[in-house]
Structure 1
Amino acid sequence: MANVRCLQKLLRLQKFVLPLKTEAADNLLRLIKRLLLERAYDGIKVLFQSPAEAAKNLPHMPAIALDLYNEVCAPNLTDDVNILDASKFDCVNELLKLLAEYAPLEPLMLELMEKIEESSSIAIFSAYLRALQVVLKRHGSNKPQALEWCLASVTTRLRELPLPAYLSEGYDEQQALLLEQDAQVEDMLAHYITVGLCYEPLIKDILQQDKSTHIFRQCGQSRRNVFCCFLLQLMDKPLALLELDNAPRRQLQPGQAHKCQRNSYRLRPEQTQQHYLAARSRAGKSQSYVQQLVASITKDVAQLLGDPYALLGLVEQRVRWQRRLDAAKGVYEMSCQNMFLIDEKLPLTALAMYYHALFVAQLMPSTAPKIYAPLYLFESSLYLVTVLLEQPEPPLQHCGLRLNAYMLSQLSQPVPQSSLDLEVHKRYCEALCKITGYSPQESIRQLGLQLLQHYILAFEHSAKYFILKNLLKTLQHDGIRGYLAGIYKDLVAAALQHDEPLPEVYCGAQFRALLLQCICVLPKDVKSDLLTHAVSLSNALNLLRYFARADMTNRTGFWHALPEIEQRLLQPLAKALDFSLAHYKAYKERVKNGQSASDDELMQQQLNMLAVNINNSGMAGEGDAAGNLPDLGREEKLEVLAGSITGLESLRVLYLLASDNTQICSRLHGPPQLPLTSTWSRSYAKDTDKSKLEDFRAREEERERERDAAEQALLSQTTQADAGGAAGAGGDQQQQQQHTHDAEEAAKHAKVAEVRNKILDAALQHVPQHGWSKQAIVLGAEQCGYPSVVHGMFPEGGFALVSHFNGQCNAQLVKSLQQQTNNGQSEISNPLEFLVEAVRQRLEMLVPYKTQWPQAMALIAQPQHASTALAQVLTLVDDICYYSGDRSVDFGWYTRRIGLATIMKMTELYMLQDTSPGHAQTWEFLKNRMDEAVQLQMALAQTEGMTHTFQRSFNSAFITARNILGLGYSRN
């Protein structure tokens, strides 16, 4: 009703001039009333359907439309009339649609909005929504705010529909099979189907008429954007609660009289049949009603957006840049410029369900761009996953887990540690661990635990260590802490299977820190509650047993950490076990002897601890206001105490096994006797196995000798004459000799560089057949008349060829730009066109090697080559910007160059998949992205305070740009 009240205020400020009511108009109104009273419904239809009568009567409709609504339609469009006299209801329904074409827009719109929000049944809702469709068609593209209010009334009604309580509490797969047979769910689906029939022609009209010529996306208040936000809101609750992806899909029968839409719009049977046959054809023959609705809405949103991924880029922007200016009014920064940034217009839960449908339900259009890096999609979607996991309803949490699982499955490379600079990872871990530990649904807890492992394993080694250490330090749930300890043990065990030196995070100081600070920990020393921490203590003891046997050579540094582990964990644990067992056994004897223990603090703590497990199993009883369970009887207390004693005995068995294993292994093999110093960890972790270290050094020395031999063989052919002449020169002056020596060294290096370039130039001819490989370099050397041994001059292998090719192309482009701009002196009339043409010219140089270029990109993305590749890219874009006339020194210098590098890489990826003649689609894509970048720059410059906001957020923005570029990066 808030939307209606807002419109009422506006209408009071306006004066509407109604058409003059003539005597003929009054006669028509009286005639309609009399025919309705006489139940002559066919006579009313003749008044407007007969060509002769319609020509006479329709001109009077504007004058009597509101009177007809107030005196005829509103009193008769009720549930009682629908039940007792359906023919009268249908006649008045048709009359309402007719008068909607002639009545003054604003007053009728207000009435319709109010009736829609207050509708008591699907029949009433359908009648008024049908009239509203006519009014919205009359509005066209004018007054998008009024359109927004009208659609908000529709969503308000949908949210207020009564639903079964179990939808919010969660349901299992068997219950999901029967969801659509529930009367309330059926009624809700009928409302959604009716809304779909209403907006379908309006969207077609938008797509046909509202063809925007702007390449940069317009995010202000427009008819297109209002409808886009409305459709996305439809995917939010309550529809989001009908999460049926786990349920088998059942086939819809064409001849079935669908109960859920029998009153929708009062369509004729053949129209209803045609509509649902078409819907089934689009969405699939075996889809449920909910899945058809989701597919239809998703398709319409994607058509309105053009690029289905477009809103994914706004998610992080909402989190990082949104600032509330007036909490009372709900005004946000940039709200007047971008309606997609306002939560009231586009809730993040609705956006999350949209991308859940695109990815998980596989509704992504075939026309969607395929240039987005998986890492970018993973990081951006993580915000939406977190939003769903933070919702209280289990169906939404389940959707969040599945969306997260899909995004993790799409990652082809380990996620770099720098990604953890994004704050969303912290929120995500907190939300995931919360539902994993405390969700009342077992399926969610199990799936959450699996995803937690997959999430951690998706990162590179240093990031895995960082995540595990922080979670182990901050989590209070003992079961998850124990599970995380097991993950770390498995990671180290996998690394121990290989002969190469262990990563730093699995040995030495970092291994020792994680064990002592996070895993092998007794929180309160001897006074610790062992039953509360039983799971994590069991995992810690099992970890000690494993490393005592698996790491006899002390590659991890386990044996140096063991004395401190014994002091901090094993010794106090032995005392705590003896104390706890004695206490619980004495307690049990007291209860057996009939001594009252209802006020015993220890028993109450035990009961509270058990309440978590009882709640998770769905067997919780009622407790007091503090959450304490009621007192138990004598037998129940004895049962609880017996279970506690059994748990402590099991923990003591693990303790004895761990202690025995470490002592036996230490006596049989003996740990390495190395000094335990602060500098030991890094060097020892890498050089534990002396023989392997010697082998590694031998290989490095062999590579150096191979390189020297290659250069020597090269120089023996190219500098023989010069060497002979130098030998005959006099050496009267020592300074002159030094200069001569320096000149000889410079000439030697110049000769080597010249021959390297000559060989690489020749090797490019062999790339189409042998790829960017060492074999192509060998063939290039032989073609130039040099021995094949000179391939040792290129220890970086095929990347040397890629780097040479990129440098050659960059130099060729810069030379061309210099000629076009008179070495930068000429003024560029159209900088944007200049940039587009420069990037196109550079990318066209890749065309001869298009088939082999993915191999080159893989070499570029390797960490050891990232710095060289990134330097080449950024140097090139700096040259392009310079010759385009960009000589600024402001902060925008960074953003423009990083933006241009991103666009170049995106276009390069697009070109690899482009099969259009002359790569026409690639160049159109390039132009579109450049136009968007220019307009984005202008928008940032015109927004007050945005420059400082952007500077503060530049680190996260650079991470996103780097991920789109596909380049590795390391802070070390």
Structure 2
Amino acid sequence: MQEQDMEVDMADAVEASNLLQLVKQLLLEKAYDGVRMLFQSAQESERNTRLLPHIAMQLYHDVCSENLCDEVNAQEPELFDCSDELLKLLAKFAPLQELMLELMERLEESSSLNVFGGYLRALQVVLQRQGRDKPQAVEWSLQSILTKLRELPLPNYLSEGYDEAQARLIEQNEQVEDLLAHYITVGLFRQPLCSEILQQDVRSPSQIFRDCGLNRRNVFTCFFTQLLGRPLALLEMSHVKEDLTRTYVQQVTEGLSQDISHCLGDPFYLLNLVEQRARWQRKLDAAKGVYEMSCRNVFLIEEKLPLHAVAMYYHSLFVGNQLPATAPRIYAPLFLFESIVYLAEVLLKQQEPPLQYCGLRLVEHLLSTLVDPVPSSSLHLDVHKRFCEALCKIVGYSPQVALRQLGLHVLRQYVLVFDDHGKYLILKNLLETLQHDGLMGYLGGMYKDLVDKALDESGPLPEVYSGKMFREMLLLCVCVLPHDVKSDLLLHADRLCHALNILRYFAVRDKKDVTGFWQSLPDIVKRLLDPLGKALNFSMAHYKAYKERVEKGQSASDDELMQRQLNMLAVNITNSGMAGGDGDSRLPDIGRQEKLDVLASSITSLETLQSLYLIANAQSSRLAPLQPRPLTFLLARSYAKDEKTTNLDDFRAREEQRERERDAADEAAAKATQKESGAGGGVGGVGATGSGGQQDDAKQAKVDAIRAKILDAALQHVPQQGWSRQAIVLGAEESGYPSVVHGMFPEGGFALVSHFNGKCNAQLVESLQQRTDGGKQAVEDPLDFLVQAVRQRLEMVTPYKQQWPQAMALMAQPQHAPTALAQVLTLVDDICYYSGDRSVDFGWYTRRVGLATIMKMTELYFLQDTSQGHTQTWEFLKNRMDEAVQLQIMLSQTEGMTHTFQRSFNSAFITARNILGLGYNRN
């Protein structure tokens, strides 16, 4: 019997060898249909397929592996196709493990989609033959597919982040097209396998607990989930392409998500394991034989189931609306929220912006599903702390503007979803731990808004918004001088501005001391206002002294503080790109004029901060929150010749005395004029005087026209020459005048600045006149009218944005201050007039002062705004206007504003117009 079997085997071996030679000969003769007939015809297929196990691996090495390559595909596509079909056929008969190892190697080395697809089809057959046996071998095979996908080249911007315009063209990129084609091919590979698993690998009714060990179903579940991670996750574009039809990325993602859900049965099952992985991480100890791979639960192993891929699965379920209809409904929204926060934190900590976007969108969606406030007890979970840290890092430091904006929105929604005590704990923890001044100022403003809302509600104020807890939070929000009087004010300017605004707000809002603000005020004065006042005086003197030394040619390179400020501000103001990057904290010598520009900007920022400080100091005095004289001073502070006066009361008395002296002088001058007119003699005397005056006026008009023509021509040279005499010289030459004519402008570059301001103001007023029919047509929305007017005026500065700090420095010089101040005061009066504000009450005063202050604050913000179209500046302007309206409502109820104050401030505007030589009446 054994001899007969051996004879049969020998005979089969001989026939198989003959079959191998026949196949090779047919391929050599390019008789590809003949090869197909050997295994497809009714007469030949049964006998020849019986012989294939003997020659399968020889056919693979001699035919398939040789011909499945790009070169053959390009030159002899029929040979490539024939070899492809032959490989899929012999995969049914070749030794499983031997062929599987070969296919794994070839898949990772495949150089094109066609080659990859050929070997993948063969692997599909092998895995179907494998069945439930040796799941680890199946896992290794699938890992080779993942390796190939992750090695495919992709554009760099996928990892760096892309905007909406790039996203709309992303699938047209050649490399992205190739990646998606590979994913689609893998989809064809997995479909029959997934169907087979769902039919065969069913949990028996007697099995109570899920088997989380290494079996075929779990291996494929992990494989599908890993496919949702990198690199496919980098193509997730829902945050920028919601308005478009389904993309290939969405189709691939949806298919994978459905397969995972089918394999899991309960799509929420992994959430329990996610929390377990995040809270109780396995301690690895090789000496004791504890390895990551030693866990019996495959879902707890990062290598088998990366958390970022799990997060992308739930992103697809919730954000992509792929949650199956059969999903259990028993899970509480709070449980889902707390579990998803773990995954969101994982995504936020990834380096690629697309993954960070997905983390934010995932949390945003879960927050929108919560109906009841999240209890503060949830904060006992450590994940909230880690999530807040990751979120604030993105909000504060991400280079992607849209990502920062979305992060800020999510941060706000995240805080507001908690109960009052939870909100308090989150804000308090962040204010105690963060180092980003802008973000800390924003969080302080959030707390202020929460208190404001609580004050509007009936019933007692919650303890987190009053008493001891309010005091602790308030001190965190407003006391922001870490080094007392030696604090770097420019470094902390953002947060200081927020702090002073919060202080101003509570001084006006909580007059009855419901929150305990006034009880906390002594500590605030001691810890903030007193040292800040000294620090402002110190910093102003320091910067001005340094500026004087630079003007005299003394670089003062030993001044480390000033070097640091120049280093920080030079990039923003001059775009010089000289921020220290080699470990040297000293700034290279950037040139005298550039230093002066930077210093002028620094001084202007300090003056703005000083203005806010004086307002807050005045409001916090328990007297009338605002008095006219201090506010007049806030507008003119940088122009005052005597800058040694820091006491508000002394300044008020001095200014009132000066105003009385000016009024007396004006009255005396008017009487003298009337007297001279009465004693002027007959008609001849008047006629002679009139003739001489007309000649002088004509001469002056001619000179003014020449000046205007030269200055108009000079403006085009400002981007290169700055606001300088050289620009005026070039303008004169272009206008046909000799360069020496610049002597007509003894005020130098300020003449150019003043001309530009006057020209822009006139254009704006003309525009306002057209919109309101010369002030006769009422404005529907006065607030929006004011916002648009200020925006229109600031947009005129855009062509000279880089040079504008120099212009501001020129306007701040004492000899130019009266004209500059007069232009500002006149402009705000014109804007208010055409908005419909013609009342003669205290509101007339506060609205104009408020508008002028907001204009200057927005101007400074505008200079450092890098957002597209200055969108952040216009948002800042709108917010400041809204705040001003609320402040105006409160101030309108303030007593003690006498007609004397109204009349004295009116005279300031009249004086301003007199400086400019303008009439006050609008006809």
1:586 aligns with 2:545: yes
- Residue of structure 1 aligned with 2:70, choices 65, 76, 79: 79
Instruction: Kindly indicate whether the alpha-carbon contact (under 8 Å) linking 1:250 and 1:288 is maintained by their aligned counterparts in 2.
Output: no
Please say if 1:387 is aligned against 2:380: no
- AA in 2 matched with 1:648: L
* Alignment match, 2:193: 202
Contact conserved, 1:549 with 1:665, CA < 8 A, in 2? no
SS in structure 2 at match of 1:292: helix
User: Residue in 2 aligned with 1:191?
Assistant: 182
Does 2:397 match 1:438? yes
Cα separation, 2, equivalents of 1:312 and 1:627: 48
Choose the corresponding residue for 2:615, options 619, 635, 657.
Answer: 657
CA distance in 2: counterparts of 1:526 and 1:583, whole angstroms? 13
- Residues 305 and 476 of structure 1: is their aligned pair in 2 closer, same or farther, counting only changes over 3 Å? same
Change (3 A) 1:627 1:659: closer
Q: How does 1:114-153 map to 2 (within 5 A)?
A: 114-153=105-144
Asked if the contact 1:250/1:287 (under 8 Å) is kept, the reply is no
Q: What letter corresponds to residue 180 of structure 2 in structure 1? A: L
Query: Within 1, Cα distance between the matches of 2:506 and 2:243?
Result: 53
Asked if 1:233 is matched to 2:226, the reply is yes
Q: Could you say which residue in structure 2 is the equivalent of 1:298?
A: 257
Separation in structure 2 between the aligned mates of residue 389 and residue 619 of structure 1, nearest angstrom: 29
**In the aligned structure 1, how far is the partner of 2:573 from the partner of 2:11?**
74
Shift of 1:601: 1.9
1:486 aligns with 2:481: no
Give the conservation status (yes or no) of the 8 Å contact 1:528–1:576: yes
Residue 452 of structure 1, CA deviation: 1.1
Match of residue 560, structure 1, among 519, 529, 537: 519
Residues 403-452 of structure 1: per-residue CA shift (max 9 Å, x gap): 01111111111111110110001110110000110000000111111111
Gaps of 5+ in 2: 1-8, 628-923
Q: 1:330 to 1:458 in 2, by over 3 A?
A: farther
CA contact (8 A) 2:567 2:580 kept: no
**Equivalent-residue separation in structure 2 for 1:427 and 1:218 (angstroms):** 32
Question: Which amino acid in structure 1 is aligned with residue 615 of structure 2?
Answer: L
Which residue pairs with 2:84 in the alignment? 93
Range with bigger deviation, 527-536 or 604-613 = 604-613
SS in 2 for 1:287: coil
- 1:249 deviates by 6.5
Residue 499 of structure 1: CA displacement?
3.1
- Deviations along 1:213-254, whole A, 9 cap, x unmatched? 234222111111100000000000100000211344798xxx
Identify the range of structure 1 (242-251 vs 476-485) with the bigger mean alpha-carbon deviation: 242-251
Map of 1:157-306 to 2, 5 A cutoff? 157-213=148-204, 214-248=207-241, 286-306=245-265
Counterpart CA distance in 1 for 2:581 and 2:286 is 38
For residue 218 of structure 2, what is the amino acid of its counterpart? N
- Find the partner of 2:416 among 457, 475, 488: 457
Give, in angstroms, the shift of residue 589 of structure 1: 2.2
Tell me which of 445, 467, 475 is aligned to 1:516. Answer: 475
Counterpart amino acid of residue 151 in structure 2: E
Q: Is 2:571–2:577's contact at 8 Å kept on the other side of the alignment? A: no
Give the whole-Å Cα distance in 2 for the aligned partners of 1:567 and 1:434. 32
Conserved in 2, the CA contact under 8 Å of 1:242 and 1:395?
yes
Which residue does 1:632 correspond to in 2? Answer: 590
Q: Residues 624 and 630 of structure 1 are in contact (CA less than 8 Å); yes or no, is this contact kept in structure 2?
A: no
2:18 pairs, out of 10, 18, 27, with 27
User: Which residue does the alignment assign to 2:905?
Assistant: none
In 2: Cα distance, 1:42 partner to 1:239 partner: 40
Q: CA separation in 2, counterparts of 1:200 and 1:657?
A: 70
Q: For the Cα contact (< 8 Å) 1:232–1:346, is it kept in 2? A: yes
Q: CA 1:513–1:47 in 2, change beyond 3 Å: closer, same or farther?
A: same
Residue deviations 1:335-358 (CA, integer Å, cap 9, x gap): 533100000000000000000000
The AA in structure 2 aligned to 1:400 is G
Distance in 2 between residues matched to 1:508 and 1:394, nearest whole Å? 42
Cα 1:600–1:94, aligned 2, differ >3 Å: closer, same or farther? farther
In structure 2, C-alpha distance between the alignment counterparts of 1:106 and 1:503, rounded to whole Å: 70
- 1:646-685 CA-to-partner distances (Å, cap 9, x unmatched) read 111111101000111122547999xxxxxxxxxxxxxxxx
Say if 2:385 is the partner of 1:426.
yes
Letter in 2 for 1:145: Q
Question: Counterpart in 1 of 2:887?
Answer: none
Residue aligning to 2:640: none
Paired letter, 1:222? N
Structure 2 vs 1, CA of residues 177 and 355 (structure 1 numbering), >3 Å: closer, same or farther?
same
Q: 2:336 corresponds to which residue?
A: 377
In structure 2, give the amino acid aligned to 1:647. S
1:648 matches 2:641: no
SS at match of 1:147: helix
Q: SS of the residue aligned with 1:291?
A: helix
User: Which of the pair has the greater relative contact order for Cα pairs under 8 Å at 6+ separation?
Assistant: 1
Structure 1: distance between partners of 2:586 and 2:246: 47
Query: 1:313, CA displacement in angstroms?
Result: 1.4
Distance 1:599 1:97, change over 3 A: farther
Counterpart for residue 49 of structure 1: 40
Higher Rg:
2
Cα distance 1:142–1:329, how it changes in 2: closer, same or farther (>3 A)? Answer: farther
Distance in 2, matches of 1:621 and 1:23, equals 80
1:417 match: 376
Offset of 1:456 from its aligned partner? 0.9
Which residue of 1 is the match for residue 95 of structure 2? 104
Q: Which residue is equivalent to 1:885?
A: none
Decide whether the 8 Å contact of 2:20 with 2:59 is kept in 1. Answer: yes
Q: Is the 8 A contact 1:163 1:185 kept in 2?
A: yes
Structure 2 partner of 1:688? none
Runs of at least 5 residues in structure 1 that lack an aligned partner in the other structure = 1-17, 252-285, 670-972
- TM-aligned CA deviation for residue 328 of structure 1: 8.9
Distance in 1, matches of 2:446 and 2:253, equals: 38
Q: Which amino acid aligns with 1:49?
A: Q
Partners of 2:57 and 2:212 lie apart in 1 by: 36
8 Å Cα contact 2:503-2:616 kept in structure 1: yes
Shift, 1:635, TM fit: 3.1
Map 1:821-970 → 2, pairs under 5 A: none
By how many angstroms is 1:195 displaced? 0.5
Q: Secondary structure in 1 aligned to 2:480?
A: coil
Partner of 1:788: none
Is contact 1:473–1:518 with CA below 8 Å preserved after alignment? no
TM normalised by structure 1 equals 0.61
Aligned counterpart, 2:815: none
Superposition CA RMSD, Å? 2.5
Determine which of 288, 295, 303 is the counterpart of 1:344.
303
Q: Once the two structures are superposed, what CA deviation does each residue of 1:160-216 show, in whole Å capped at 9, x if it has no partner? A: 111100100000011000100111101101110111100110000011111112342
SS of the residue aligned with 1:52? coil
The answer (yes or no) to whether the contact 2:478–2:503 under 8 Å persists in 1 is no
Identity over aligned pairs, percent: 62
8 A Cα contact 1:436 1:446, kept in partner: yes
Native 8 Å contact 1:100 1:108 kept in 2: yes
Contact 2:567–2:579, Cα closer than 8 Å, also in 1: no
CA contact (8 A) 1:77 1:93 kept: yes
Change (3 A) 1:166 1:327: farther
- Is this contact kept in 2: 1:219–1:340, CA < 8 A? yes
Kept in 1, the 8 Å contact 2:478–2:500? The answer is no
Which of 411, 419, 434 is the equivalent residue of 1:475?
434
CA separation in 2, counterparts of 1:391 and 1:196?
Answer: 27
Residues 618 and 603 (structure 1), Cα distance of their counterparts in 2 relative to 1, 3 Å cut: closer
Q: What secondary structure is seen at the aligned counterpart in 1 of 2:284?
A: strand
How far is 1:116 from its partner? 0.5
> Are residues 1:549 and 2:508 paired?
yes
Q: Summarize deviations over 1:619-660 as a string: whole Å, max 9, x none.
A: 898832568875533333222222211111111101000111
CA distance in 2, matches of 1:618, 1:158: 43
Q: Which moved more, 1:450-459 or 1:590-599?
A: 590-599
The whole-number CA distance in structure 2 between the counterparts of 1:19 and 1:390 is 64
